[in-house]
Amino acid sequence: MKTQFFTATSLDGFIADADHSLEWLFQFGAGPGEEYEAFIRDVGVIAMGSHTYEWLLRHMAVSGDAWYYEIPTWVFTSRTLPIIDGADIRFVSGDVRPVHEQMEAIAGEKNLWITGGGELVGQFYDAGLLDDLFVQIAPVTLGSGMPLLPRKIASPPLRLVSCKTHSAGFLLTHYQVVYDDKTREAKD
């Protein structure tokens, strides 16, 4: 079981615009791509931040789509948010470590996907719990917005596992997180 972040980002490093919107991605087509499809098959649980959840709610209201995920989803928030009937959604707050333990128990041998946002991913990194980053870099710049990962990760650096181009000019990168001994002790 791995804890992984799979996302799209603009060339200048933003996963959402200043309004927390992902609308900029829709110009590249409706489908998420074969890389995402392969990734999601191995996912057993999802973690997301409240802004990502709220964006999904707004998008569902406009598009008429149902909740996208059939697997348990934890939404990290300090606020009361609307519940989606029939969806396995758990609202949590605080330290990611005990929640990660709950998620691991339910995921079994499947992976934990952090779908957004960057601050939440950073909390998993800070706790020594993040294993991989799958970053699709889009051929656009947003100028401002929600940063990909608002953390300094410089020493040791991330390890590049693979890099390839795919549909619509995206560049898909896969990085493995490398921890120093101090951070790794927090995870173990």
Q: Report pLDDT digits (tens) over 52-64.
A: 999 899 888 888 8
Looking at the structure of the chain, the number of domains it has is 1
Name the nearest CA neighbour of 5 among 110, 172, 133: 133
Mean pLDDT of 98-120: 94
- What is the SS3 assignment for 24-71? HHHHHCCCCCHHHHHHHCCEEEEEEEHHHHHHHHHHHHHHCCCCCCCC
Cβ burial, residue 164 (10 Å; 0-12/13-18/19+): exposed
Q: Provide the pLDDT confidence category of residue 41 given band limits of 50, 70 and 90.
A: very high
Q: Which domain holds residue 143?
A: 3-187
Lowest mean pLDDT among 110-114, 115-119, 175-179: 115-119
Is the distance from CB of 23 to CB of 15 less than 8 angstroms?
no
**pLDDT above 50: residue 186:** no
pLDDT at 32: 61
The encoded tokens of residue 99 equal 């929640």
Mean pLDDT of 71-93: 95
Q: Report pLDDT digits (tens) over 151-179.
A: 889 889 999 999 999 777 889 999 999 99
CATH of the domain at 59: 3.40.430.10
pLDDT at 30: 58
